Amino acid sequence: MGETNTSGHTPALPPARDLAGAWLLMAVLAAFAWALTVAQARDTGVAPGTMGMAVPLFLALWLVMMIAMMVPSVAPVALTWARGITRPSTGLARTARTTAFVGAYLVVWTAFGLVAYGLLALTGDLVADHPGAGRWIGAAAFALAGLQQLGPLKNVCLRHCRSPMSQPLTHAGHRPRAHDLRAGAHHGMYCLGCCWGLMILLVPLGVMNTAAMAAVAALIFLEKLWRHGPALSRAAGIAFLVLAVLCVTGPPQVQDWLLPGLTAPAAPMAPMGMTGAP
């Protein structure tokens, strides 16, 4: 199964040829999710709050966003898990196990979508009633993300996320049918502990801001897979604290750049539906 990585260095990945079907599934999922997200963002623009979405529609959109943003960074863990517990087996079996792992992982992030919806609804109402509150809400979001990046929970969870071979060892005693779901949910909780502060940034940056989503997704990917990921995480935390100060003290141009999700829409919003359908 390869060496267990507990040192925090870039994890050793299984040969791609052993998991061709699973790799293809993950790539198609991420690409399709990004295409849907970009299409929806083009129709709705960036605006404060939930943009009139009811909870079910928001959660559906949030799930698509999480597939787009998180699947690239979770793919090595899911594929390492699939290879480690299915040998010998067919490529189809590995793909099915990868699907179960990723599905349980995404359930955790979808549940966090309820928290995101509540935050967006609250901040949207506050900005509508008190437009000047936007800069303080943005400062709080950046400060919270910065402190989370520099805190002990981030360090613990990031170490777990950077050691994919810990998954088969952690769940070796589980019943076979529960292996993949338990491991996916377990990893999802660690990933949530690692990245929830970064997701909070979508409140000031805009939940439909695809540029911000891509930047956050890239940061998550590098934190987990680059050998200098922990150092990058700390540097990002310091940068977020600086941006928190700029949200309050910076010139209007800087505030507009940092707070598109807490200001008036840049473009008229289409009726809420996936890809602008009525």
- Choice between 261 and 145, residue whose per-residue pLDDT is larger: 145
Stretch 25-37: mean pLDDT, rounded? 85
Quick one: 144 exposed, middle or buried, by C-beta within 10 A (0-12, 13-18, 19+)? middle
- Choice between 129 and 220, residue whose per-residue pLDDT is larger: 220
Q: What is the pLDDT of residue 233?
A: 96
Q: What is the pLDDT of residue 7?
A: 42
Measure CA of the first residue to CA of the last residue in the chain; give whole Å: 50
d(CA 178, CA 274): 33
User: Binning pLDDT at 50, 70 and 90, where does residue 275 land?
Assistant: very low
Stretch 83-87: mean pLDDT, rounded? 59
Residue 116 tokens, joined? 């995101």
Cα distances (angstroms) measured from residue 52 to each of 119, 120, 259, 268, 270: 14, 11, 19, 13, 10
> In the predicted model, is pLDDT for residue 74 greater than 90?
no
Q: Per mean pLDDT, which range of 204-208, 223-227, 273-277 is the poorest?
A: 273-277
Q: Does residue 4 contact residue 166 with C-beta atoms inside 8 Å?
A: yes
pLDDT tens digits, one per residue of 223-234: 998 999 999 999
- Choice between 99 and 172, residue whose per-residue pLDDT is larger: 99
The amino acid that residue 43 corresponds to is D
> In the predicted model, is pLDDT for residue 100 greater than 80?
yes
Q: Per mean pLDDT, which range of 6-20, 179-193, 222-236 is the poorest?
A: 6-20
- Report pTM: 0.81
